[in-house]
Amino acid sequence: MFILFIGGSLTCLRSKNGITMTRVSKARLGSTIACGDVTVAVTSIHGPIISCGDLAAQRDVFEKVYGLVAVAEETLTADSVAALWGLSGRTALTVVLETPGTRFGIRLVQFDPQSDIVIRHKPSGYNSDALKVIDFYAPDFYAAKTHLEAKGYHLKDEVAEYELDNGAFLEGHLWGPDAVVTALVSGPKGFFRNFATTTEKLFSEVQSISAPVSDMPAVLAFYEAVLGLSVIHEYGIDHESFADLVGTQHKMKLRAKNVGLVRTEPYFGLIHYGLPETAYDSLRDRAVMPNRGLVGATVIVDDAADVARNAESHGADTLSALTEVELAPYGQILSFTVRGPHGVVHHIIEPS
């Protein structure tokens, strides 16, 4: 989902369907982010990591539908897999896809042996503590939908349509292989020039990487303490129609905080649906490699050792220690992998 920001005001927007959203502004941040005593030079959030049951099927979605292109492909030895992500006894095939003209994309990984566990399922759209949706901006929603269908894919029947102060917005979801959800989001072109790098093609680069969370304060504290990242915008939605879209029978009071560098680059969308604790399950135990689905994200930094020290000080869940290893397309890197309290795997890379 995307949210509207104009000036420095906090504005309430109401659609004709009763969807209420708040609007705030945030100044553009540089590549070095300071939060309290934490300073981490985050170069970029490259994009999501998907653990695949069928890597070719995932490539089909992102290459044929969303227009990403392969920039690296390699087979990883068991030693490399252990060094990168802390798994033992597995090799892997990995492919990096990026949107042409940007430095943002997706890493696909197919482990051998594979896991039979899929992290998320359609009926569990409201369950927490695992990534859920990859957002793409589609300037022409219906042209994008037609293109998607021509490639053999179909959106869910429910398509969100609402009028806001800045115009009409549409959002549709595609459930792909391994229950990876991608979203088409469309709205006023002038507005989206402030929310995407690629705005003149059928689809933008990856925007939000969204995760429902059960403990928002703990997740925000993780991003601030370990990565030095802060909230760049936030919003809320209160309406039963959105609860229907998510698939819950309970009254929903969605509140979201998006964490990252700037709103025109990929960021983490942290969502709390405001449901009773008994109304949803935590997927944290399932949201781990090699289980299949949208499992994490690649974060590029200037100093991976700083991240490792921050993670240790914060008591974060380290999956693989700081190590030097080869990984395409970067070459020799310093690698460190840490998991947030919301189950999300963060692969920290410092290129040489």
Full set of structural domains in the chain with CATH: 1-300 (3.10.180.10)
Under the banding of pLDDT at 50, 70 and 90, the label for residue 163 is: low
Phi/psi of residue 35, nearest 5 degrees? -130, 110
What's the average model confidence in pLDDT over 244-263? Answer: 73
272 or 164: whose pLDDT is higher? 272
The per-residue pLDDT for 318 is 97
pLDDT at 13 over 60: no
At 254 the pLDDT is 67
From 212, 279, 215, select the one nearest 250 (Cα to Cα): 279
Token pair for 339: 């998991």
β-partners of residue 110 are: 93
Mean pLDDT lowest for which of 18-27, 89-98, 316-325, 341-350? 18-27
Query: Are the C-beta atoms of residues 269 and 18 closer than 8 Å to each other?
Result: no
More confident residue, 211 or 251: 211
Q: What is the dihedral of CA 280, 284, 287, 290, to 10 degrees?
A: -140
pLDDT value, residue 237: 64
d(CA 157, CA 270): 25
Q: Considering Cα of 298, then 156, then 119, then 125, what sign does the dihedral take? A: positive
pLDDT at 274: 62
Q: How does the average pLDDT of the chain come out, rounded?
A: 84
pLDDT given for residue 220 in this prediction: 96
Give the pLDDT confidence score for residue 302 in this predicted structure.
95
Q: For residue 188, what pLDDT is reported? A: 84
141 contacts 168 by C-beta, under 8 angstroms: no
Per the CB < 8 A criterion, the answer to whether 343 and 212 are in contact is no
- Across the range 281-294, mean pLDDT stands at 95
DSSP H or E stretch at residue 219: helix 216-222
Phi, psi (rounded to 5 degrees) for 139? -55, -40
With 90 as the cut, is the pLDDT of residue 6 above it?
A: no
Rounded to an integer, the average pLDDT of 14-37 is: 37
pLDDT score, position 17: 36
